[in-house]
Amino acid sequence: MALHLGIFLIWAGACVFLQLDHVDGDNKCVFPFIYGGNQYFDCTKENSLWAWCSLTEIYSGIWRYCVDEDYAPCVFPFIYRGKTYNSCTTAGSLFWNYWCSITPNYDQHKAW
């Protein structure tokens, strides 16, 4: 029991120190969001061990951990190297893995 309490106190202290307001429940991730001057189209592990998302368009300290339903879906059609794709592709993949863009224009946003 003492170990659990200690871990909770460390977590709570980190949230207070970092001024993070973790929110659970029905709050939805907002994509894209801006954090630290960067735009995110999907959950991120930036400055965290676990994937998280902002609940506001411009990160204001209100966030939550991501669950499977939060990750951005593929967007079709999307543009990659000036060509339009209507399904996942192996183009540009070093190991022939299929991938897709999570924005309509990969060339512009580089989000996949």
Could you give the domains of the chain? 27-71 (2.10.10.10), 73-111 (2.10.10.10)
- How far is residue 46's CA from residue 41's CA, in Å, rounded to a whole number? 13
**78 forms bridges with which residues in the sheet?**
85
**pLDDT at residue 13, rounded to an integer:** 47
Assess whether pLDDT exceeds 50 at residue 104: yes
Question: By C-alpha distance, which of 93, 21, 111, 16 is closest to 62?
Answer: 21
For the chain, the distance separating the N- and C-terminal CA atoms, rounded to the nearest angstrom, is 42
3-state secondary structure the chain: CHHHHHHHHHHHHHHHHCCCEECCCCCCCCCCEEECCEEECCCECCCCCCCEEECCCECCCEEEECCHHHCCCCCCCEEECCEEECCCECCCCCCCCCECCCCCEHHHHCCC
pTM above 0.75, yes or no: no
Average pLDDT score, the chain: 84
Per-residue model confidence (pLDDT) at position 105? 96
pLDDT band at 12 (very low <50, low <70, confident <90, very high): very low
The confidence score (pLDDT) of residue 23 equals 57
Q: Nearest CA to 99 among 89, 109, 87?
A: 89
User: How much is the pLDDT for 2?
Assistant: 53
